Amino acid sequence: MASSHPDRRTPDRIAVRGIRAHAHHGVYEFERERGQLFSVDAVLEVDTAAAAAADDLQLTVNYAELAQQLRAVLDGEPVNLLETLAQRLADVCLANDLVDAVEITVHKPEAELGVPFDDVTVTVRRERG
C-alpha cells in the first residue's frame, strides 16, 4: 500500500526467482570437487513508471538479460561462503543504473548439515549508495 505522503511510496519491484546452477561453491574440498545445486532469487527495486508509460523495455530492467548475468555468477569462480556469492550477485544487479536496491537470496538445498533440512539460505539487501 502506497504512503499518503507524495514523496514516499512503496518501491516498484521486479523479481526473478529460482535461477539454478550446478556449481562448486563451499568451504569443503568435496563441495568444490563434486559441486551441488545452488539457486538465487533477486528482487530489484526499480522505478518502472517511465517504462510503463512508454511501454519501452529500454526504460526498465531486462529480466532475461539479468537472469543470464546471475547464472554466470553462479557458474563462475567458486567462493567459500554464500555471503560472498550473494554480494557478487548483488553487485551485478546494482551495476544497472536503474536498480535502486536489491535483495538477493542464495539457496543451498543440498548442503551437508548432518540433520534433515529443507534449505539453507543467505539473504542480503544492498542499496545504491
> Which residues are part of the catalytic machinery?
108
* Residue 99, phi then psi, degrees to nearest 5: -85, 120
Coil, strand or helix at 125: strand
Cα radius of gyration rounded to whole Å, the chain: 17
